[in-house]
Amino acid sequence: MNLTIREALLAFRRAPLLSALSVTTIAFSLFVVGLFGLVAVNLQDALRGVAERVEIVAYLLPGTPIESITLAEKDIEAFPEVHSAVYVSEDSALARARAELVEFRDVLQELERNPLPASIEVKLKPRFRDAEHVNDVADRLRGFGFVDDVRFGRDWVEKLDRLRQVAAAVGLVVGAAFAVVAIIIIGTTIRMAVLQRSREIAIMRLVGATNGFIRRPFLLQGAIKGMLGGLVAVGLSYGAYTLINRWLIQAAFFSNVQALAIVGFGTLIGFFGSAASVGRHLRRV
Amino acid sequence: MIKFTNVFKAFPKGGLALKDVSFHIAKGEFVFLTGHSGAGKSTVLKLVYADEPVTSGEVRVSGFNVAELRPRDVPMLRRRLGIVFQDFRLLEDRTAEENVAFALEVTGARRSSIPARVMRVLTQVGLAAKAQAYPRELSGGEQQRVAIARALVNEPSVLLADEPTGNLDERATRGVFQLLRDINASGTAVVMATHDLDLVRQAPYRVIELQEGALVYDSAVDEPRDQAATP
Ligand SMILES: Nc1ncnc2c1ncn2[C@@H]1O[C@H](COP(=O)(O)OP(=O)(O)OP(=O)(O)O)[C@@H](O)[C@H]1O
Ligand SMILES: [Mg+2]
């Protein structure tokens, strides 16, 4: 193991230019993946923000006793999909209308009778904020005797659904394409490192080195290059993020876990890319 | 030690490089492998160290059945052999000492035992003083000595040398040849492929001659000749 580390580090020292080139190539390949990841992360954030506003409102018949309502509130909150159910009385509905609809303040001020019905406002848990579950919950709300009407933006929820599907599909396809391109570019880079040392490999074999012995330093070296490339890629992504944030739009950056995943991805590509390259080389000669 | 029995070797493109070659080299022998260019000398050696597969026939090298060797056993075979080439094949970015040590490290030798063993073989080939030199800082003869030291460090029972003096001037040739004789005198078998008939004539060693892949003369079996037939 000691020897493996020494040989791997020696390779960096002996071919600093090629090593730097490999790391740079890996870094930029992963940077492209990272940029795409940033877009995906932000798009997801935006979608989540929009989904926050998915809300089902059950309007109640006038004169429903408050006890029934409190009970129903409890029931509804116990639905597995439901995040919160909040009772809004006729009075507070009016108060809210007054506060929110400033233009109509005068009209609302002069009302003799409150025309607004009481309601229960239901918010779903994040993962249930799609058309299917919204419809489902709305149906169940209609089942309560004192519920007059149930409203939610049906079109809007369906559009959101479609948007999510498109985003997921595009993300998957484009992300996979970028990842494949990155893997190919990184694999080629690593292959160059192996070919550059083919004479050395031949000599190692001649003096009786096993394939495993020859392979190990390459794997370690590949993993290190991949890791460094990943770190640089995260750094570059952070730079890009800072610029976007300053000049364009308020955006989100990767979570620590996501950043770590990029570095891990780089490390894995480096490792397995080297394994494939050296393996192929060893089998051929 | 090394035994070829009815060995044929065909390369994928190109005809038969060896045709029905049989010989037996005993422990501690010194054997010249001679013949014109293209006669098959290097091919014989390549079969011995399993660099090329045997097409048919049997090749036995110190207990290994080379023709049926599994790929993962090839390194084990090579650790029992020392191999030297015309072009030295040293690692350019390692010193003489590191080049020799490398052959030991590869075999998983105990770390602490390596420096002493390396110094011993470098002393044996007369290069102890240049242990820290890189190949480019050494003459051809000195580089070949490093290569020989590397071949010896694993204490092989056979040293294979493919035109080891091919790139050397007369003086260096004599030096390297004398070194090979000394190595042989201390018990290691040496198989040396060479063009250099002066060398062949000046030493009383066995000669195996190849011609277009066929063994045409073996001084251990055939009538002695006044001189090797190769012009
Ligand atoms: N890898 C190969 N593929 C095809 N043919 C080969 C290969 N290696 C050697 N040969 C052929 O095999 C024959 C013997 O070659 P070999 O290298 O053994 O000759 P040699 O006696 O060592 O010659 P030299 O004295 O020039 O080194 C030649 O005809 C050569 O062209
Ligand atoms: Mg040859």
Q: One digit per residue, pLDDT tens: chain A, 285 residues? A: 578 888 888 878 878 888 888 889 889 888 888 888 888 878 878 888 877 778 888 888 887 788 888 888 888 888 888 888 888 888 888 888 878 877 777 776 777 777 788 888 888 888 888 888 888 888 888 888 888 888 887 777 778 778 878 888 888 888 888 888 878 887 788 788 888 888 888 999 999 999 988 899 889 988 999 999 999 999 998 998 888 888 887 777 888 888 899 899 899 988 988 888 888 888 876
pTM attached to this predicted model: 0.76
CA torsion B181-B182-B184-B187 (nearest 10°) is: 160
A92-138 confidence digits (pLDDT tens):
888 888 788 777 777 767 777 777 888 888 888 888 888 888 888 88
pLDDT for res B226: 58
Among left, alpha and beta (phi > 0; psi -120 to 50; other), residue A148 is alpha
Is residue A116 domain-shared with residue A171, that is, in the same domain? no
Residue nearest to atom 6 of ligand 1 (CA): B11
pLDDT for res B167: 92
Q: Which residues of chain B make contact with A207, given a CB cutoff of 8 A?
A: 78-79, 83, 102-103, 106, 150, 154
**Which of B102, B143, B146, B153 to probe the A interface (max A CBs under 10 A)?**
B102
- In angstroms, the CA B86 to CA B162 distance is 6
The kind and range of the H/E element at A176 are helix A154-196
Is residue A39 domain-shared with residue A169, that is, in the same domain? yes
Q: What ipTM does this complex have? A: 0.87
- In angstroms, the CA B44 to CA B53 distance is 11
Among B52, B45, B94, which Cα is nearest to B71's? B52
| Residue A144 structural domain | 55-152
The residue ranges of chain B whose pLDDT is under 70 are 226-231
- CA–CA distance from A40 to each of A53, A238, A267, B2 (Å)? 20, 15, 22, 67
First to last CA, chain B: 30
- In angstroms, the CA B41 to CA B211 distance is 9
B44 CA to centre of ligand 1 in angstroms: 10
Is residue A199 domain-shared with residue A263, that is, in the same domain? yes
Give the end of a domain, one of A117, A152, A187.
A152
A24-57 confidence digits (pLDDT tens):
988 988 888 888 888 887 887 888 887 777 888 8
Q: Which residues of chain A make contact with B134, given a CB cutoff of 8 A?
A: none
pLDDT for res A223: 92
- Binary contact (A207, B72; C-beta < 8 A): no
Is residue A168 domain-shared with residue A276, that is, in the same domain? yes
Is residue A133 domain-shared with residue A177, that is, in the same domain? no
Give the end of a domain, one of A127, A152, A177.
A152
Is residue A164 domain-shared with residue A220, that is, in the same domain? yes
Please, is B96 exposed, middle or buried when counting C-beta atoms within 10 Å of its C-beta (0-12, 13-18, 19+)? buried
Which residue among A14, A200, A210 places its CB closest to the CB of B75?
A: A210
Domains of chain A: total = 2
pLDDT for res B231: 46
